[in-house]
């Protein structure tokens, strides 16, 4: 930028009344978003991404075009049940009264997992709104990990975090062993960097728990690289996995080298999830889903810019979020 005093718009902008300045500011955001995402609001982007107008009430794809909304959005009427709706009715952006630009900022911040207070400040939204939006986004990836299938060479390990929500439980007594207060997270990654992370109860898991946590997510006959924990045996037997063991030993180069991938992943997850400790277990699982989803998105940013991919996912998702 050249000397700001020479900017020909400076005097013009400084002399605008407050409401006109607000309009100008909004229009500038719109243009920036149009250049970046090819749209100035959700509806435009949804049309560009070919979102289908599906009836939020009965799920039918058959509609007739109805009138327009006061802000000139196309409305549809369901041929099956007669319900009237618009393109974004069955999405998490249904009835949002905040701008596209505010959401873009919010989602960008969410990809860096910043504290919620920071999103409130930078998006100028209330704490309940910031919390609601996070739940809305999480609701779109609830079953994201269900489809994950690790193959080839697969590393697994467990990591533990103190579950402070347990302190509020009525049945909590100090007699419980220390390990019972630790939430176990089972973490797995394959050679293609597909990742899976799931909360697997309290304390050290049994072979049954490990089996149930991973049985639908590792391909038969894969090579399993792990620390030789006995609890892994049922999984190895039933899925016919080949097993390669490196006993945990921070002085062994062999261990450090072969387990680096899974050890790094565990420590990333631990550092990430610590910020949300105290949450209910179901909520913590949502944070893990988001972590795994983001890893996938970030691993392919050379093919697909991060936020564009997330926006596409959110815009094409079917389903509103109800509290």
Residues at the contact surface with Zn ion, assessed by CB under 5 A: 55, 57-58, 60, 78, 80-81, 83
Considering only CA atoms, which of 81, 85, 139 is closest in space to residue 319?
139
Return the HEC string of 22-56.
Answer: HHHHHHHHHHHHHHHHCCCCHHHHHHHCCCCCCCC
- Nearer to Zn ion among residue 56 and residue 205 (C-beta): 56
Q: Residues 77, 80, 83, 85: is their CA dihedral positive or negative?
A: negative
Residue 77: strand pairing partners? 64, 84
- Nearer to Zn ion among residue 80 and residue 219 (C-beta): 80
CB of 90 to Zn ion, least distance (A): 10
CB of 71 to Zn ion, least distance (A): 23
CB of 74 to Zn ion, least distance (A): 16
- Nearer to Zn ion among residue 83 and residue 306 (C-beta): 83
CB of 89 to Zn ion, least distance (A): 11
The phi-psi region of residue 21 (left if phi > 0; otherwise alpha if psi is between -120 and 50; otherwise beta) is alpha
Alpha-helical segments (H) within 60-115: 100-110
- Nearer to Zn ion among residue 77 and residue 283 (C-beta): 77
Distance CA 144, CA 309 (A): 15
CB of 93 to Zn ion, least distance (A): 20
- Nearer to Zn ion among residue 63 and residue 100 (C-beta): 63
């Amino acid at each position: 930028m050249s000397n700001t005093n020479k900017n020909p718009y400076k005097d013009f902008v400084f002399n605008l009344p407050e409401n006109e300045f607000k309009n100008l500011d909004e229009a500038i955001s719109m243009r920036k978003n149009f250049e970046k995402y090819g749209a100035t609001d959700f509806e435009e982007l949804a049309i560009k991404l070919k979102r289908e107008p599906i009836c939020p009430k009965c799920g039918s794809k058959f509609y007739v075009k109805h009138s327009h909304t006061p802000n000139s959005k196309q409305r549809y009427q369901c041929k099956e049940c007669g319900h009237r709706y618009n393109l974004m009715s069955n999405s998490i952006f249904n009835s949002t009264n905040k701008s596209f630009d505010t959401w873009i900022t919010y989602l960008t911040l969410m990809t860096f997992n910043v504290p919620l207070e920071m999103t409130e400040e930078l998006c100028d939204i209330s704490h309940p709104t910031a919390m609601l939006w996070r739940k809305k986004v999480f609701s779109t990836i609830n079953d994201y990990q269900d489809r994950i299938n690790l193959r080839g060479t697969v590393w697994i390990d467990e990591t533990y975090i103190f579950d402070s929500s347990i302190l509020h439980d009525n049945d909590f007594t100090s007699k419980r062993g220390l390990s019972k207060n630790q939430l176990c997270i089972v973490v797995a990654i394959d050679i293609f960097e597909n990742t899976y992370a799931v909360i697997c109860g309290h304390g050290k898991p049994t072979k049954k728990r490990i089996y149930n946590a991973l049985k639908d997510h590792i391909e038969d006959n894969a090579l399993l690289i792990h620390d030789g924990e006995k609890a892994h045996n049922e999984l190895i037997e039933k899925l016919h996995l080949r097993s390669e063991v490196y006993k945990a030993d921070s002085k062994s180069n062999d261990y450090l080298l072969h387990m680096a991938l899974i050890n790094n992943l565990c420590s990333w997850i631990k550092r990430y999830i610590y910020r949300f400790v105290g949450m209910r277990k179901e909520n913590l699982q949502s944070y893990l889903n988001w972590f795994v989803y983001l890893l996938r998105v970030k691993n392919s940013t050379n093919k697909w810019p991060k936020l564009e991919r997330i926006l596409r996912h959110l815009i094409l998702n079917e389903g509103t979020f109800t509290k």
